[in-house]
Structure 1
Amino acid sequence: MLKLTYTEGSFYLECLTLSLEEWVAQRVILALRVGQTLHFEPSTASFLLPVDLPGVERLKAEARRNDGEIIALSKSDAEYLEVTLRGSWLSDGSEDAVGVFVTTMSDRTEFFLHKLWQEAQVCASVVSE
């Protein structure tokens, strides 16, 4: 399962070993215990990856083979590839874009996507230094 945590200024991508159902059940129980409002709805999430990252072509092939209904990859411009995922959005129901997006696809695609995102973060931090 992939979990994208959106904050006011950024997002963080994690690859979790829990099933989507297990993770949602834990979140619901936590929300009930602490009295937190929890909204859960089908949604999409998008982010950019540099097109020149090693492994992007392998991700494209893996996504086409196994996960075409869940992940869409499209060229954003000459430098970036837009990754769009179908899944579920969890939030407190407010209108701000703070919350958690979760989705499930093949383990291989999740692994490649998470690895590429991590590499993109390393490249971005090197450039900003």
Structure 2
Amino acid sequence: MLKLTYTESSFDLECVTLSLEEWVAQRVILALRVGQSLCIEPNTASFLLPVDLPGVEVLGAEVKKDDREIIALCTCDAEYMEVTLRGSWLSASSKDSVGVFVTTMSDRAEFFLHKLWQEAQSCASVMSE
């Protein structure tokens, strides 16, 4: 499962070994125990990746193999591609921009997407220094 955590200023993408159902169930139980509102709804999440990252073509091949249409890739310009994922948005309210987006796809596609995102983050860190 992929988990994207959105904060006011950034987001983080991580691979989680729990199934989507197990993770959501644990999150619901936590919200109940602490008395927190929790909204869960189907939604999409998008982020950009540089098109010149090694392995982007492998991710593209994985996307073509998966007929569930959970992930879509779209070239934005000469430097970036947009990755759009279908899944579930969890937040305090349906209008909240801070929350967690979760989705599941093939293990291979999750691995490559996570690896590419990590590489993009390390490239961005090097460039900002």
TM-score bracket relative to the smaller structure: over 0.9
List, as ranges, runs of 4+ consecutive aligned residues in structure 1 with deviation greater than 6 Å.
Answer: none
Partner of 1:76: 76
Partner of 2:102: 102
TM-score in terms of structure 2 length = 0.97
The residue identity in structure 2 corresponding to 1:73 is L
CA distance in 2, matches of 1:61, 1:94: 34
CA distance in 2, matches of 1:93, 1:68: 28
Structure 2 CA distance for partners of 1:114 and 1:30, relative to 1, 3 Å: same
Establish whether residue 126 from structure 1 lines up as the match of residue 126 from structure 2: yes
SS state of the match for residue 49, structure 1? strand
CA distance in 1, matches of 2:15, 2:71: 15
Q: Is the 8 A contact 2:39 2:94 kept in 1?
A: no
Cα displacement (A) at 1:96? 3.5
SS state of the match for residue 100, structure 2? strand
Cα displacement (A) at 1:66? 2.0
Q: Indicate the larger mover: 62-71 or 20-29.
A: 62-71
Structure 1 gaps of 5+ residues are none
SS state of the match for residue 53, structure 2? coil
Cα displacement (A) at 1:67? 5.1
How many residues are paired up? 129
Structure 2 CA distance for partners of 1:121 and 1:67, relative to 1, 3 Å: farther
Partner of 1:88: 88
Quote the sequence identity (%). Answer: 81
SS state of the match for residue 22, structure 2? helix
- State the Cα deviation string for residues 32-64 of structure 1 (Å, max 9, x = none): 000000000000000000000000000000111
Establish whether residue 115 from structure 1 lines up as the match of residue 90 from structure 2: no
Cα displacement (A) at 1:68? 5.1
The residue identity in structure 2 corresponding to 1:122 is S
Structure 2 CA distance for partners of 1:124 and 1:110, relative to 1, 3 Å: same
Q: Is the 8 A contact 1:67 1:106 kept in 2?
A: no
Structure 2 gaps of 5+ residues are none
CA RMSD between the two structures: 1.0
